[in-house]
Chain A
Amino acid sequence: MALLELNNVTKIFGGLVAVDSLSISIEKGMIYGIIGPNGAGKTTVFNCITGVYKPEKGKIIFKGKDITGFSSHKIANMGITRTFQTIRLFNEMSVAENIMSGRHFKSRQKWWHGIIHTPFYYKDERANWLKVKEYMELFGLARLAKMTAGSQPYGVQRKIEMARALATEPELLILDEPAAGLNDKERLELVDTIRKIRDMGVTILLIEHNMDLVMNITEYISVLNFGKKIAEGKPEDIQNNPVVIEAYLGKEEEDE
């Protein structure tokens, strides 16, 4: 059984079909890529999966369960978390507090712990902060713990966002253009990090414009154009697929 399955998902914005009966299937443990030209509807797909948008038609099935139309927090709690194309951190807060937000669901504190601190509270609080420490160490953020997230350089902010998403201990991690705005060194680091995350048993779905990166790390790719899937397959097949080259790769060469 696939971990995540999209069946004929369609999303329409005021007459414009942003995603047109898209079906994909992601196996557990994979690094799956979605590529396509600008405006192809990739981010919209992510927004449908994470419950930000409700698709007009089709089904989204996660671990055999229909999650179509679920609210975002419910989907996150089921094990799907994401990063954003335009980084969305809690800018005024510290790096550690940002990552702690990912522990929200895993923390077993109840509403009354916001009023009275019981012995359980202290135990739970400590356990979760130590988890945060682990994730900070994993991403090399430990010495920045107390620093304000919003004042960090772009590459670091990307890491914080990934650490935050990972702190929820997801089964599926969705990365929306993780390499955007990174320099070459940071991009290499990112490849390592993504592999490391996958080796922790997390399935990864990503959108990326950087072709080297996509071809390098993904195991399976779907290509979108105007909301429709025009091809899918292994990276090497996609690279040689004439339809894809025409729709996307060729065009990109012209751009550059």
Chain B
Amino acid sequence: MNTKNIVYYGIFLFSLIILPFFLNSDWVSVMTTFIIYSIVSLSQDIVLGRAGMFDMGHAIFFGLGAYSTAILNMVYGWPILATIPIAIILPIVASIILAAPIIHLRGDYLLVTTIGFNIVFTQALKNNVFGITGGPNGIFGVEPLKILGFVFSSQLSIYYLAFFILLLTLIVIHNLETSKPGRALHYLNLDSLASECIGINTRFYRLYSFALSAALAGLAGVVFTLQFSAVSPGAFNFIQSVLFFTIVLVGGPSSIPGVLLGTFFMFVVPEIFRQFAEARYLVFGVAMILIMIWRPKGIWPVKFGRIPNYLTKE
């Protein structure tokens, strides 16, 4: 990471830290949701932007995390802290089981199949499978997180919890993009055959990207449950997946600032224009088309060339 980037990220993170002091609690809640959606979008970007797989069912993993926490807490009485490992592992397992048979499909076919998975997932939630998902209304009254006697019940505490998870996500993604597995994702995305022929196990890394992104989305799901003390199928339906998909492409695939900007644009901006009610989504559609025409690679496109300095200096 060069100095310029460190300064940028420093300013961004510092703003997020001090922001709640300037906002009323409604807006702190909006910003918390923004952070949660940023985490999900960043995780979606691992599969869609970096590995280049058209996954339009990412809300599944987000939902699995959220529902794991809600169900284990409400139905089985687990403390929230104990549900977190399950809310990470279950999405990982699900992502591998779902992705393994379809990972070889070409772009659009993968997209359609993942839409299919998402619809089956939400229908199952609505139909109250195993009698534990609460049906169309979902689950209410999930307990707050308690760590060493501290209870995360205020909006502010949940905000900083979400912020902490975002920080963690940013570190993981930074580590990913400067490592062998992260580069492998770009290689197989840009030319799968050439990648195979220089020795990259493309199938393994495709599944790897699914698993890693599912883990992060699941973790975001936990924070989602804590933020609303409730989960319902509508928050994880296929329309939500479309939203995450769009955020990545509008912002800039593989670009961390791009995805964050995309989330801001697709999520916070509509909140700002709330008084214009329904018309805002119409304007939104127009904006999506215009952005794609003017900046087909997103608002803040990725820059490659992440190479160490000692390579270019004599």
Contact = CB atoms under 8 A, between A and B. Distances in A.
On whether A and B touch (CB less than 8 Å), the answer reads yes
Interface of A: 50-52, 71-73, 76-77, 81-82, 84, 88-94, 96-97, 100-102, 104-105, 107, 109, 111, 113-117, 121, 125-126, 129-130, 132-133, 136, 145-146, 148, 164-165, 168
B312 A104 contact: no
B97 interface: no
Contacts of A113: 175, 179-181
Contacts of A93: 186, 190, 304-305
Interface residues of B, number: 34
A115 B198 contact: no
Given A97-B304, A115-B176, A76 B182 contact: no
B310 interface: yes
Contacts of B283: none
Contacts of A84: 194, 197
Given A73-B199, A84-B197, A105-B200, 13 more contacts: A71-B201, A73-B197, A90-B190, A92-B304, A94-B305, A107-B180, A113-B175, A117-B178, A125-B178, A129-B307, A133-B310, A146-B307, A168-B198
Interface of B: 172, 175-176, 178-184, 186-187, 190-191, 193-202, 208, 212, 304-308, 310-312
A71 B199 contact: no
B231 to A, nearest CB: 27
Given A114-B179, A114-B208, A132 B197 contact: no
Nearest to A116: B175
Nearest to A161: B194
A104 B200 contact: yes
Contact of A109 (B180, B194, B195, B208): B180
B193 A76 contact: no
Contact of B199 (A90, A97, A168): A168
B196 A71 contact: yes
Contacts of A126: 308
A90 B194 contact: yes
29 contacts: A50-B197, A52-B196, A52-B197, A71-B201, A72-B197, A89-B194, A90-B186, A90-B190, A90-B191, A93-B304, A93-B305, A97-B307, A104-B184, A104-B199, A105-B199, A109-B179, A109-B181, A114-B176, A114-B212, A117-B179, A125-B179, A130-B310, A145-B311, A146-B307, A146-B312, A148-B304, A164-B198, A168-B198, A168-B199
A113 B212 CA distance: 12
Nearest to B208: A111
B190 A92 contact: yes
B175 to A, nearest CB: 5
Nearest to A124: B180
A81 B195 CA distance: 11
Contacts of A115: 172, 175-176, 212
Contact of A91 (B178, B190, B202, B308): B190
A115 B248 CA distance: 21
Given A93-B304, A114-B175, A133-B311, A73 B181 contact: no
Nearest to A132: B311
